């Protein structure tokens, strides 16, 4: 049950991101969550995370996340996976880049899962 709920959390985020819905994307995060984007300061709290994703969505990148490992240990879980980012500006040819990510989730008082830590980086081109 926990595995399915966590996988659904990731799917919900990707769907929200790809439809450019920053508010929905931020809802998968706990209020005290942190996002650690590459080459940028830490983004702390749901409101700041929503603003960060809104900015990122404006860059025109489509996202796919594919879990490689998912480990649940009590009220904490982590997922490690492969990220595929597809960018197309105007009529230019699509550019596809790969990377990796790790997310940490915590079970909430109501039994749901929320992201508390999110970090990723790109693979060499």
Question: Can you say whether the dihedral through the CA atoms of 15, 18, 19, 23 is positive or negative?
Answer: positive
Q: Where along the chain do its domains lie? A: 2-119
Of 27, 120, 14, 9, nearest to 72 (Cα)? 9
Q: Using a pLDDT cut of 70, give the percent of the chain over it.
A: 97
pLDDT band at residue 110 using 50, 70 and 90 as cut-offs: very high
- Helix axis angle for 2-18 and 46-57, nearest 10°, is 50
**CB distance 117 to 36 below 8 Å:** yes
With pLDDT > 90 as the criterion, what percentage of the chain qualifies?
A: 86
Q: Render pLDDT for 18-77 as a digit per residue (tens, 0 to 9).
A: 999 999 999 999 999 999 999 999 999 999 999 999 999 988 889 999 999 999 999 999
> Looking at the predicted structure, is the pLDDT value of residue 1 above 90?
no
- Report the alpha-carbon distance of residue 109 to residue 89 in Å, rounded: 43
Provide the pLDDT for residue 59: 86
For domain 2-119, give its CATH number from 3.40.640.10, 3.10.450.50, 2.40.420.20, 3.30.365.10: 3.10.450.50
């Amino acid at each position: 049950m926990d595995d399915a709920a966590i996988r659904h959390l990731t799917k919900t985020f990707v769907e929200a991101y790809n439809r450019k819905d920053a508010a929905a994307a931020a809802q998968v995060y706990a209020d005290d969550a942190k996002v650690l984007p590459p080459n940028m300061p830490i983004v702390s709290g749901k409101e700041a995370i929503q603003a960060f994703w809104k900015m990122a969505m404006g860059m025109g990148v489509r996202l796919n996340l594919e879990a490689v490992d998912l480990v649940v240990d009590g009220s904490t879980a982590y997922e490690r996976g492969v990220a595929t980012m597809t960018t197309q500006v105007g009529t230019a040819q699509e550019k596809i880049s790969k990377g990796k990510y790790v997310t940490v989730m915590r079970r909430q008082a109501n039994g749901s899962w929320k992201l508390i830590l999110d970090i990723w980086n790109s693979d060499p081109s």
